[in-house]
Amino acid sequence: MAKRKRITAQMVADRAGVSRSAVSRAFTKGSYLEESKRRRILGIAAEIGYQPNALAAGLQGGRSRLVAVIEGDIRNAHDTTLISRLCSALNANGFWPILVSGTPINGYTEALAFPLDALIVRGGSMSKDLVHRCAKLGIPMICYGRPTEELNIDSVHCKNQAGMQLATELLVSKGRQKFGFLGGPDQFYSSMKRRKGVLNALENAGLDLQAEAASDFSVDGGFTAAKTLLTGNGHIDALVCANDAMAIGALGAARALGIAIPDALSVVGFDDADMADWQITKLTTVRNPLETTVQEVLNLLVDRINNPDRECRTIRVEPQLVIRGTH
Protein backbone atom coordinates (compact mmCIF):
# COMPACT_ATOMS: atom_id res chain seq x y z
CA MET A 1 0.00 0.00 0.00
CA ALA A 2 1.76 3.12 1.27
CA LYS A 3 0.89 4.99 -1.89
CA ARG A 4 -2.13 6.64 -0.30
CA LYS A 5 -3.93 6.55 -3.60
CA ARG A 6 -7.20 8.36 -3.43
CA ILE A 7 -10.15 6.87 -5.28
CA THR A 8 -11.44 9.43 -7.73
CA ALA A 9 -14.65 9.98 -9.63
CA GLN A 10 -12.84 9.13 -12.86
CA MET A 11 -12.17 5.59 -11.65
CA VAL A 12 -15.81 5.08 -10.89
CA ALA A 13 -16.72 6.51 -14.27
CA ASP A 14 -14.35 4.17 -16.13
CA ARG A 15 -15.67 1.19 -14.23
CA ALA A 16 -19.29 2.13 -14.90
CA GLY A 17 -18.71 3.10 -18.51
CA VAL A 18 -20.01 6.62 -18.07
CA SER A 19 -18.50 10.07 -18.03
CA ARG A 20 -17.04 11.61 -14.90
CA SER A 21 -19.80 14.20 -14.98
CA ALA A 22 -22.35 11.47 -14.55
CA VAL A 23 -20.62 10.30 -11.38
CA SER A 24 -20.65 13.80 -10.00
CA ARG A 25 -24.33 14.09 -10.84
CA ALA A 26 -25.09 10.79 -9.17
CA PHE A 27 -23.91 12.28 -5.89
CA THR A 28 -25.56 15.67 -6.42
CA LYS A 29 -29.23 15.41 -5.72
CA GLY A 30 -31.35 17.56 -7.95
CA SER A 31 -29.36 16.76 -11.07
CA TYR A 32 -30.73 15.04 -14.13
CA LEU A 33 -29.56 11.47 -14.36
CA GLU A 34 -31.31 8.33 -15.50
CA GLU A 35 -32.35 6.44 -12.41
CA SER A 36 -30.86 3.10 -13.47
CA LYS A 37 -27.57 4.74 -14.29
CA ARG A 38 -27.49 6.56 -10.97
CA ARG A 39 -28.08 3.34 -9.12
CA ARG A 40 -25.34 1.56 -11.01
CA ILE A 41 -22.90 4.37 -10.27
CA LEU A 42 -23.74 4.49 -6.59
CA GLY A 43 -23.39 0.74 -6.43
CA ILE A 44 -19.93 0.74 -7.93
CA ALA A 45 -18.93 3.69 -5.76
CA ALA A 46 -19.91 1.83 -2.62
CA GLU A 47 -18.12 -1.24 -3.86
CA ILE A 48 -14.75 0.38 -4.42
CA GLY A 49 -15.20 2.86 -1.59
CA TYR A 50 -15.48 6.11 -3.46
CA GLN A 51 -16.40 9.33 -1.70
CA PRO A 52 -16.30 12.78 -3.30
CA ASN A 53 -13.23 14.65 -2.08
CA ALA A 54 -14.47 17.35 0.24
CA LEU A 55 -11.40 19.47 -0.36
CA ALA A 56 -11.86 19.59 -4.10
CA ALA A 57 -15.56 20.19 -3.66
CA GLY A 58 -14.92 23.01 -1.26
CA LEU A 59 -12.46 24.59 -3.61
CA GLN A 60 -15.03 24.60 -6.31
CA GLY A 61 -16.51 27.92 -5.25
CA GLY A 62 -19.49 26.90 -3.21
CA ARG A 63 -19.60 26.34 0.49
CA SER A 64 -16.82 24.41 2.16
CA ARG A 65 -18.92 23.37 5.17
CA LEU A 66 -15.88 23.98 7.31
CA VAL A 67 -16.36 25.94 10.52
CA ALA A 68 -13.51 26.99 12.76
CA VAL A 69 -14.24 26.76 16.46
CA ILE A 70 -11.81 28.85 18.44
CA GLU A 71 -11.48 27.23 21.80
CA GLY A 72 -8.67 29.34 23.18
CA ASP A 73 -7.28 28.65 26.59
CA ILE A 74 -10.00 26.80 28.41
CA ARG A 75 -10.25 27.28 32.12
CA ASN A 76 -13.77 26.28 32.87
CA ALA A 77 -15.03 22.71 32.64
CA HIS A 78 -18.38 24.13 31.61
CA ASP A 79 -16.76 25.75 28.57
CA THR A 80 -15.27 22.44 27.51
CA THR A 81 -18.67 20.85 27.70
CA LEU A 82 -20.16 23.65 25.64
CA ILE A 83 -17.57 23.21 22.92
CA SER A 84 -18.11 19.51 22.84
CA ARG A 85 -21.86 19.97 22.42
CA LEU A 86 -21.31 22.66 19.84
CA CYS A 87 -19.16 20.38 17.73
CA SER A 88 -21.76 17.63 17.95
CA ALA A 89 -24.42 20.03 16.79
CA LEU A 90 -22.27 21.23 13.91
CA ASN A 91 -21.68 17.64 12.90
CA ALA A 92 -25.34 16.87 13.03
CA ASN A 93 -26.03 19.78 10.71
CA GLY A 94 -23.49 18.76 8.12
CA PHE A 95 -20.68 21.09 9.13
CA TRP A 96 -17.12 20.07 9.93
CA PRO A 97 -15.71 21.80 13.00
CA ILE A 98 -12.02 22.56 12.99
CA LEU A 99 -10.96 23.01 16.56
CA VAL A 100 -8.39 25.72 17.26
CA SER A 101 -7.06 25.73 20.77
CA GLY A 102 -3.98 26.49 22.76
CA THR A 103 -2.34 29.88 22.93
CA PRO A 104 -2.92 32.21 20.00
CA ILE A 105 0.03 32.70 17.69
CA ASN A 106 -1.35 35.39 15.43
CA GLY A 107 -4.64 35.97 17.18
CA TYR A 108 -5.88 32.72 15.68
CA THR A 109 -5.81 34.14 12.17
CA GLU A 110 -3.97 31.07 10.90
CA ALA A 111 -7.30 29.31 10.76
CA LEU A 112 -8.30 31.67 7.98
CA ALA A 113 -6.08 29.68 5.66
CA PHE A 114 -9.22 27.64 5.11
CA PRO A 115 -12.12 29.03 3.13
CA LEU A 116 -14.38 28.81 6.15
CA ASP A 117 -18.12 28.95 6.02
CA ALA A 118 -18.06 30.52 9.46
CA LEU A 119 -16.02 31.03 12.57
CA ILE A 120 -17.24 30.55 16.12
CA VAL A 121 -15.37 32.18 18.95
CA ARG A 122 -15.77 32.80 22.64
CA GLY A 123 -15.98 36.41 23.68
CA GLY A 124 -12.74 36.19 25.61
CA SER A 125 -10.72 34.92 22.67
CA MET A 126 -11.56 37.58 20.13
CA SER A 127 -8.71 39.65 18.74
CA LYS A 128 -9.18 42.88 16.80
CA ASP A 129 -7.12 41.42 14.02
CA LEU A 130 -9.34 38.39 13.73
CA VAL A 131 -12.48 40.50 13.61
CA HIS A 132 -10.97 42.76 11.00
CA ARG A 133 -9.77 39.96 8.77
CA CYS A 134 -13.04 38.08 8.95
CA ALA A 135 -14.97 41.18 7.97
CA LYS A 136 -12.63 41.79 5.06
CA LEU A 137 -12.89 38.23 3.81
CA GLY A 138 -16.62 38.13 4.31
CA ILE A 139 -16.45 35.19 6.70
CA PRO A 140 -19.38 35.17 9.15
CA MET A 141 -18.30 35.27 12.76
CA ILE A 142 -20.44 34.13 15.65
CA CYS A 143 -19.47 35.02 19.17
CA TYR A 144 -20.73 33.54 22.40
CA GLY A 145 -20.45 34.62 26.00
CA ARG A 146 -20.43 38.34 25.39
CA PRO A 147 -22.51 40.90 23.49
CA THR A 148 -20.76 42.31 20.43
CA GLU A 149 -23.18 44.69 18.81
CA GLU A 150 -20.60 47.41 18.54
CA LEU A 151 -18.45 45.18 16.36
CA ASN A 152 -21.34 44.26 14.09
CA ILE A 153 -21.05 40.59 14.98
CA ASP A 154 -23.73 38.03 15.76
CA SER A 155 -23.59 36.84 19.31
CA VAL A 156 -25.25 34.72 21.95
CA HIS A 157 -24.89 35.14 25.65
CA CYS A 158 -26.72 34.39 28.86
CA LYS A 159 -28.34 37.19 30.85
CA ASN A 160 -25.70 37.03 33.54
CA GLN A 161 -26.89 39.97 35.56
CA ALA A 162 -30.55 39.03 35.62
CA GLY A 163 -29.70 35.43 36.49
CA MET A 164 -27.53 36.25 39.45
CA GLN A 165 -30.08 38.79 40.60
CA LEU A 166 -32.70 36.06 40.61
CA ALA A 167 -30.54 33.83 42.78
CA THR A 168 -29.77 36.63 45.19
CA GLU A 169 -33.43 37.53 45.48
CA LEU A 170 -34.14 33.94 46.38
CA LEU A 171 -31.76 34.17 49.31
CA VAL A 172 -33.19 37.52 50.35
CA SER A 173 -36.65 36.03 50.36
CA LYS A 174 -35.34 33.30 52.66
CA GLY A 175 -34.39 35.99 55.13
CA ARG A 176 -30.65 36.10 54.52
CA GLN A 177 -29.11 39.44 55.42
CA LYS A 178 -25.33 39.18 55.48
CA PHE A 179 -24.18 38.58 51.94
CA GLY A 180 -20.80 37.67 50.58
CA PHE A 181 -19.81 37.47 46.93
CA LEU A 182 -17.19 35.20 45.43
CA GLY A 183 -16.16 36.57 42.03
CA GLY A 184 -13.94 35.44 39.20
CA PRO A 185 -10.99 37.09 37.51
CA ASP A 186 -11.52 40.84 37.13
CA GLN A 187 -11.35 40.94 33.36
CA PHE A 188 -14.03 38.26 32.94
CA TYR A 189 -17.08 39.88 31.45
CA SER A 190 -19.45 37.31 32.91
CA SER A 191 -18.14 37.67 36.45
CA MET A 192 -18.50 41.43 36.30
CA LYS A 193 -22.11 41.22 35.19
CA ARG A 194 -22.99 38.61 37.75
CA ARG A 195 -21.59 40.77 40.50
CA LYS A 196 -23.77 43.58 39.27
CA GLY A 197 -26.76 41.30 39.60
CA VAL A 198 -25.96 40.67 43.23
CA LEU A 199 -25.58 44.36 43.98
CA ASN A 200 -28.86 45.16 42.25
CA ALA A 201 -30.79 42.63 44.26
CA LEU A 202 -29.22 43.77 47.51
CA GLU A 203 -29.92 47.40 46.75
CA ASN A 204 -33.55 46.60 46.05
CA ALA A 205 -33.73 44.89 49.43
CA GLY A 206 -31.94 47.67 51.22
CA LEU A 207 -28.97 45.46 52.04
CA ASP A 208 -25.24 45.89 51.68
CA LEU A 209 -22.61 43.47 50.49
CA GLN A 210 -20.69 42.43 53.60
CA ALA A 211 -17.68 40.72 52.12
CA GLU A 212 -16.18 39.95 48.78
CA ALA A 213 -13.32 37.96 47.30
CA ALA A 214 -12.03 37.17 43.85
CA SER A 215 -10.72 33.86 42.68
CA ASP A 216 -10.17 31.95 39.44
CA PHE A 217 -13.41 30.09 38.67
CA SER A 218 -11.90 26.82 39.93
CA VAL A 219 -13.03 24.52 42.75
CA ASP A 220 -9.78 24.89 44.64
CA GLY A 221 -9.77 28.62 44.20
CA GLY A 222 -13.30 28.76 45.54
CA PHE A 223 -12.36 26.59 48.49
CA THR A 224 -9.48 28.79 49.54
CA ALA A 225 -11.25 32.09 48.97
CA ALA A 226 -14.38 30.93 50.76
CA LYS A 227 -12.37 29.71 53.71
CA THR A 228 -10.85 33.14 54.11
CA LEU A 229 -14.19 34.81 53.66
CA LEU A 230 -15.94 32.58 56.18
CA THR A 231 -13.30 32.90 58.87
CA GLY A 232 -13.03 36.68 58.42
CA ASN A 233 -14.34 39.26 60.80
CA GLY A 234 -17.82 39.90 59.49
CA HIS A 235 -20.31 37.08 59.91
CA ILE A 236 -21.95 35.88 56.70
CA ASP A 237 -25.12 33.88 56.17
CA ALA A 238 -25.25 33.89 52.35
CA LEU A 239 -22.52 33.32 49.82
CA VAL A 240 -23.20 34.04 46.17
CA CYS A 241 -20.60 32.55 43.84
CA ALA A 242 -19.92 33.60 40.25
CA ASN A 243 -19.82 30.02 39.02
CA ASP A 244 -20.59 26.49 40.15
CA ALA A 245 -17.01 25.31 40.50
CA MET A 246 -16.22 27.98 43.07
CA ALA A 247 -19.52 27.33 44.81
CA ILE A 248 -18.61 23.70 45.21
CA GLY A 249 -15.27 24.70 46.63
CA ALA A 250 -17.15 26.94 49.02
CA LEU A 251 -19.37 24.06 50.12
CA GLY A 252 -16.24 22.11 50.96
CA ALA A 253 -14.85 25.04 52.92
CA ALA A 254 -18.07 25.33 54.92
CA ARG A 255 -17.99 21.65 55.69
CA ALA A 256 -14.39 21.89 56.80
CA LEU A 257 -15.30 24.73 59.11
CA GLY A 258 -18.30 22.91 60.51
CA ILE A 259 -20.80 25.38 59.07
CA ALA A 260 -24.13 23.73 58.43
CA ILE A 261 -25.63 24.16 54.98
CA PRO A 262 -28.23 25.42 54.37
CA ASP A 263 -29.08 26.06 58.01
CA ALA A 264 -26.28 28.45 58.89
CA LEU A 265 -25.22 29.43 55.40
CA SER A 266 -26.79 29.60 51.96
CA VAL A 267 -24.58 28.98 48.94
CA VAL A 268 -25.57 29.46 45.31
CA GLY A 269 -23.60 29.18 42.08
CA PHE A 270 -24.05 29.88 38.41
CA ASP A 271 -24.10 27.66 35.28
CA ASP A 272 -25.77 24.48 36.45
CA ALA A 273 -22.70 22.51 35.46
CA ASP A 274 -22.79 18.72 35.71
CA MET A 275 -21.31 18.74 39.17
CA ALA A 276 -24.04 20.98 40.50
CA ASP A 277 -26.52 18.17 40.10
CA TRP A 278 -24.44 15.46 41.69
CA GLN A 279 -26.29 13.81 44.54
CA ILE A 280 -23.38 14.64 46.82
CA THR A 281 -23.71 18.31 45.88
CA LYS A 282 -27.24 19.31 44.98
CA LEU A 283 -26.22 22.90 44.56
CA THR A 284 -28.86 25.57 44.17
CA THR A 285 -27.77 27.50 41.12
CA VAL A 286 -28.75 29.36 37.97
CA ARG A 287 -28.93 27.44 34.75
CA ASN A 288 -26.85 28.81 31.92
CA PRO A 289 -28.48 26.57 29.36
CA LEU A 290 -25.98 24.88 27.08
CA GLU A 291 -28.44 23.34 24.68
CA THR A 292 -30.18 26.64 24.09
CA THR A 293 -26.91 28.46 23.57
CA VAL A 294 -25.67 25.86 21.11
CA GLN A 295 -28.94 25.92 19.26
CA GLU A 296 -28.95 29.70 19.02
CA VAL A 297 -25.40 29.77 17.75
CA LEU A 298 -26.36 27.27 15.09
CA ASN A 299 -29.44 29.24 14.15
CA LEU A 300 -27.44 32.42 13.76
CA LEU A 301 -24.87 30.60 11.69
CA VAL A 302 -27.27 28.98 9.27
CA ASP A 303 -29.29 32.14 8.99
CA ARG A 304 -26.21 34.21 8.30
CA ILE A 305 -24.98 31.85 5.61
CA ASN A 306 -28.32 31.99 3.86
CA ASN A 307 -28.52 35.72 4.20
CA PRO A 308 -25.06 37.25 4.43
CA ASP A 309 -26.22 40.85 4.43
CA ARG A 310 -28.75 40.81 7.20
CA GLU A 311 -28.36 42.97 10.27
CA CYS A 312 -26.29 41.49 13.06
CA ARG A 313 -28.25 40.05 15.93
CA THR A 314 -27.62 39.59 19.64
CA ILE A 315 -29.43 36.72 21.32
CA ARG A 316 -29.88 36.91 25.07
CA VAL A 317 -30.50 33.52 26.59
CA GLU A 318 -32.81 33.44 29.56
CA PRO A 319 -31.26 31.99 32.71
CA GLN A 320 -33.33 29.88 35.02
CA LEU A 321 -33.24 29.38 38.77
CA VAL A 322 -32.53 25.79 39.77
CA ILE A 323 -33.70 25.08 43.27
CA ARG A 324 -31.79 22.37 45.05
CA GLY A 325 -30.47 21.97 48.54
CA THR A 326 -27.91 24.60 49.43
CA HIS A 327 -29.92 27.78 49.84
Instruction: Quickly list H helices, the chain.
Output: 9-16, 20-27, 35-48, 54-59, 77-92, 128-137, 160-173, 189-205, 219-231, 244-256, 290-306
Question: By CB neighbour count within 10 A (0-12 exposed, 13-18 middle, 19+ buried), where does 94 fall?
Answer: exposed
Output 24 or 320, the one with its CB closest to DNA.
24
Binding site partner of 173, from its own copies, DNA, none, Cβ cut-off 5-8 A by kind: none
Nearer to DNA, 8 or 295 (CB): 8
Output the smallest distance, CB 307 to its own copies, in A.
10
From the list its own copies, DNA, none, partner contacted by residue 260 (C-beta under 5 to 8 A by kind): none
Contact 134, 112 (CB under 8 A): yes
Name the residue nearer to its own copies (CB basis): 256 or 264: 256
99 or 264: CB nearest its own copies: 99
| Residue 252 contacts residue 129 (beta carbons within 8 Å) | no
Reference 144, options 167, 119, 164, 161; nearest CA is 119
Binding residues for DNA (CB under 7 A): 6, 8-10, 18-22, 24-25, 27-28, 31-35, 37, 50-53, 56-57, 59-62
* Cα three-residue angle 79-273-304, rounded to 5 degrees: 45
Secondary structure of residue 194 in the 3-state scheme:
helix
How large is the angle between the packed helices 77-92 and 244-256, nearest 10 degrees? Answer: 150
* Closest CB 114 distance from its own copies, rounded Å: 5
- Smallest gap from Cβ 91 to DNA, in A, equals 19
3 state SS of 119: strand
Q: Which residues fall within 8 angstroms of residue 48, CB to CB, at 6 or more apart?
A: 7, 11, 12, 15
In the complex, least distance from residue 324 CB atom to its own copies, rounded to whole angstroms: 13
Closest CA to 154 of 173, 140, 135, 139: 140
Positions that interact with its own copies (CB under 8 A) = 1-7, 49, 51-56, 58-59, 64, 69, 71, 74, 77, 80-81, 83-84, 87-88, 91-92, 96-102, 109-115, 133, 135-139, 219-220, 223-224, 248-249, 251-253, 255-256, 274-275, 277-280, 308-309
Contact partner, 21, from its own copies, DNA, none, Cβ < 5-8 Å per class: DNA
For residue 18, the partner it binds in its own copies, DNA, none, with Cβ less than 5 to 8 A by kind, is DNA
**Least distance to DNA, CB of residue 17, Å:** 8
Identify which of residues 220 and 318 has a Cβ nearer to its own copies in the complex: 220
User: Measured from the CB of residue 35, what is the shortest distance to DNA in angstroms?
Assistant: 7
